[in-house]
A and B are shown apart, each in its own frame.
Chain A
Amino acid sequence: MGMFSKRKTVCVDADVLVIGGGMAGCGATYEARYWGRDLKVVCVEKANIERSGAVAQGLYAINCYMGTQWDENQPEDHVRYARNDLMGLVREDLGYDIARHVDASVHMFEEWGLPIMKDPETGQYLREGKWQIMIHGESYKPIVAEAARKAATEVYNRIMVTHLLMDESKSNRVGGAVGFNVRTGDFYVFRAKAIIVCAGGASHIYKPRSVGEGMGRTWYAPWSSASAYALPIFVGAKMTQMENRIVLTRFKDGYGPVGAYFLHLKTYTENAYGNEYESNWYEHTKELVGDYIDRHPVPTCLRNHAFLEEMKAGRGPIRMVTKEAFQDPHKETVGWENFLGMTIGQAVVWASQNIDPKHTNPELTTSEPYVMGSHATCSGAWASGPSDYAPSEYQWGYNRMMTVDGLFGAGDTIGGTAHKFSSGSFAEGRIAAKAAVNYVNDLRNEQPRVSEQQYEDLKKTVFQPMENYQVGRNEIVAGTISPSYILPLPGLQRLEKIMDEYVGGFSAHYTTNTHMLNRGLELLGMLREDLDRLGAEDLHQLQRAWELKHRLMASESVTHHTMFREETRWPGYYYRADHPKLDDTDWHCFTLSRYDRESNEWEMEKAPVYHIVD
C-alpha cells in the first residue's frame, strides 16, 4: 500500500478561495468580505500570513502611490511611467485601473496604523521619489494580515497548494484547489466557486550569484516559488510576457535596495576610476534600441545595460558614492534604516566587511534574473480588463479573470502591469475580489462539480515524492545519493544551472540564442521526467519538491517565451544574441502562451498592445 492511502483528506468548501496570503491575497480577502457579506471567504497560505510573501521582512517605502489628493500625479501619469520603463509594452488598461485605486488602499494602511513619514512643512507624505513614499514599515505585513484575518471566514496557514481543480460540469472552468498541510501531512481539498491566485513570483529559477550557505540571499524571497504561474499554466490559462524577467542593480552580496539612495539621498554611481559611465554607452545603446534611450527616466533595463557594459570593459567595481550624503546625520540614519526595514542582510554584510558608507563607497552588482509581475517587470497571466474602458480584445469577462472561467489573479500572478509593488498588488487583489464576488453571485446555483476521483488521483501525485523516498531509501546504506530518486535541492540546482547557462543567466552575461534555448528545452524536458522521481524524506522536503515542480513549470514557460520573441526588447535584462536589436515593426506586441497538459505542447501567439493613454 502506498503512503498516500493513510493520509487524511480534509475537504473545505468555499465561495471565494484566495491562494496565497501576501499583499495581493490580503487585499483580496479583505475586499471579498466587504462585497460578499454572506459568502464563505477562505485564504490558504503556504507559511503564516502574519509574515508571508515578499513583504514578510517589512518595507521602508511604498513604491506605488499617486498622491492624486495633492495633485502630485494622475493615474495616466503612472501608465506613461510604467510603459516607458518597460520599453513600451504594458497593459495600459490594467495599469490605469491599479493607479486609480491604489491611493485609497494606502490611505487605509495609514488608518490601520502603518507609520507613513510626513513632510514636516507640507504635512503630505514624505516623497522618496515621484512615485515612492517613505514608511516605517517593519510591521507592514502584520498590519495588513490583521485586516485579512478579520475579513476571512477561515485562514489556513502552512498549506502548500499544489494544483488547481477543474469543474467537470463545464469545460474550462475552475472548481477548486488541492494541497497538503506541511505540519500534519493532511491532504486538503478546497472546492470553490471562484479562485483568486495571489501566490508569489519566482526566485531560484536562475542560479543565484551566492551559492552554498548564502544561496538564500536572493533579491526576491526564496519562498517565492513560482506558484503564481505554475498553478494557472497547468490548467491551461494563457500567460503573457513571461520572457520579461528582471535583473536588479543592487548593493553587492546583500542585494540591499538602491531606490532611497538614488532618489532621496541623492547618491550616484561611478566606475573604479571615479568616473560617471552611463554616457559612455549612450551611442551604443541607441543603436540597439533607438530613441528609447532618450526617454526620461531612462528605462531600468537600459541603466543595467550600461552597468554590464562598463563591467565587461574592465572598469569595475562600480560603486555608489555615499560618502558625501552620509555626512548628513539624517541621511545616514535613512540609509541604514532603509536596510533594517526591508533588507537586513545588507546591514549584516556591511557590518561584517567594515563598510560604513560614511567612509567607504559600497560596491554594486547585478543580480541573477527573477520572474515576477509586480516590480519593474510584468510577467504573468493574461487577464480581462476593467469593463468601463478596457479595449474589447482585453475584455472577455470579469476584471482580472484569466482565460479560465472563475480563475482570477492579482499581484505577481497578473501580467502586463509593471510597477504595482506592494500597494498596487494589494489594490489589485481588491479589484480581483470584487469581480470574483460578482462572478459568484452571477453563478447562482450553478456550482462547479469536482469528483472524488479527480482529487484522489491528485492525492497520489502529491505524496509520490515521499513514497519514492521510502522505497528508494532501502537500497542505500546512508547519505543523499540514490540511483532511484533525487532530492529537491540537487533538482533545484540542476534547474538553476540549465536556466543560467542556456536561458540567459548571469554567468552567460544574460545572453542566449535560439540554439541555446533549444538545448535548454531538451534539458528541461529531461528534468521534468526526473521530477517524477523526486524523493522527499519528510513533509518539509515534500514542500521543497512541489516548489521545485512549480519553478520548473514557470521556467519552461520563460524559455518558450524567450524563444518566441525574436528581438532584444530589454537589453540589461536579457539578450537574444541572434536578434540583438529592439524591433518595433514585428515585436511591439505581447507574447502569449498556452500550455496543453494533454499533449505537453506550448502554443505561442502575439497579442496587440493598445496605447489608450497618450
Chain B
Amino acid sequence: MPTFVYMTRCDGCGHCVDICPSDIMHIDSTYRRAYNIEPNMCWECYSCVKACPQNAIDCRGYADFAPLGHSVRVLREEAKGTISWKIKFRDGREKDFVSPIRTTPWGSIQSPAELAVPNEEDMKSQELAHEPAALNIEGGLRTLRPDQFKQVVV
C-alpha cells in the first residue's frame, strides 16, 4: 500500500524523508511538502506514517490488487510506550488493536563502553560481551570438543 501525503496537513518538516528505508519520501520542490516519489518501491512498512508529527501520511492499498475504501491507521506514542491501530474494512467494519512497544525509557540503554574493560584472556575466549552471565545457564558457554562430535563427511 503505497503512502501518500495530505496537502493540508504536511508542513514539510522532513521526518519522513529522514526515516524512509527505501528513500522514496522526498520534498516536492514547488509545494515544499513531502510526497512518495516511487510508490512501486514502497514496502508499506509505515515507518514514515509513524514518524509524521502531523499525521499527514496515509496509505492506500496497491491499486493492482487492493480494492478502494479501506484504511489502516496508526498512532505511535513513544512517551506512553504504545502503538494503536484502527483497521477499517471496505464494507465499513472496524477493528482496533493496541500493543506495547518498549518497557524501558527511550535512551536508557547503556553503552558497552561503560562496562568493565575485558582482560587479555577474555579477548581470546569464545565468550561475547555479557557472557556467560547473560546466558543464564549453569556451566557457561557451550562448546563442542573434538572427542564429543562426530566429524563425518558425506
Contact = CB atoms under 8 A, between A and B. Distances in A.
Interface of A: 30-31, 33-35, 37, 46-48, 50-53, 56-57, 68-69, 74-75, 88, 96, 100-101, 103-104, 107-108, 112-115, 136, 138-139, 143, 146-147, 150-151, 158, 182, 210-218, 221-223, 253, 333, 336-337, 340-341, 344-345, 347-354, 356, 386-389, 391, 427, 430-431, 434, 437-438, 441, 489, 540, 543, 584, 588, 608-614
A37 B150 contact: no
B118 A221 contact: no
Interface in B38-61: 38-47, 59, 61
B123 A351 contact: no
Given A151-B111, A336-B97, 11 more contacts: A31-B112, A56-B45, A68-B137, A75-B142, A104-B128, A222-B42, A340-B72, A345-B1, A351-B71, A438-B124, A612-B150
Contacts of B1: 217, 344-345, 348
A31 B74 CA distance: 34
Contacts of B153: 608-611
B8 interface: no
B91 interface: yes
B89 A351 contact: yes
Nearest to B153: A608
B95 to A, nearest CB: 6
Interface string B116-131: 0110000110101111
A485 B41 CA distance: 21
A427 B126 CA distance: 13
B22 A341 contact: no
9 contacts: A37-B113, A47-B20, A113-B102, A136-B100, A138-B101, A182-B23, A344-B72, A356-B93, A434-B128
Contacts of B109: 112-113, 143, 146-147, 150
Given A33-B112, A101-B131, A613-B149, A218 B43 contact: yes
B87 A336 contact: yes
A441 to B, nearest CB: 7
Interface string B131-142: 100111100011
Contact of B99 (A108, A113, A136): A136
Contacts of A352: 61, 66-70, 89-90
Contacts of B106: 146
A34 B102 contact: no
A101 B128 CA distance: 8
B45 A540 contact: no
Q: Give the size category of B's interface with A.
A: 35 or more
B143 A336 contact: no
A367 to B, nearest CB: 14
Contact of B43 (A211, A216, A611): A216
Contact of A337 (B69, B99, B145, B151): B99
Main secondary structure of the interface of A (DSSP, over half): helix
Contacts of A88: 154
Given A115-B100, A344-B46, A612-B144, A212 B64 contact: yes
B99 A214 contact: no
A158 B63 CA distance: 30
Nearest to A218: B43
B2 interface: yes
Contact of A115 (B76, B102, B110): B102
Contacts of B150: 611-614
Contacts of B66: 214, 253, 348-349, 352-353
Nearest to B93: A356
A229 to B, nearest CB: 19
Given A216-B41, A348-B72, A352-B61, A34 B134 contact: no
A100 B142 contact: yes
Contacts of B118: 34-35
Given A115-B101, A136-B101, A354-B90, A69 B137 contact: yes
Given A333-B97, A354-B90, A431-B128, A389 B104 contact: no
Given A138-B76, A353-B66, A608-B153, A114 B137 contact: no
Interface in B80-106: 83, 85, 87-91, 93, 95, 97, 99-106
A138 B65 contact: no
B79 interface: no
A216 B39 contact: yes
Nearest to B88: A351
Given A136-B100, A138-B101, A214-B62, A347 B113 contact: no
Nearest to A585: B154
Contact of B151 (A350, A438, A543, A610): A610
A347 B87 contact: yes
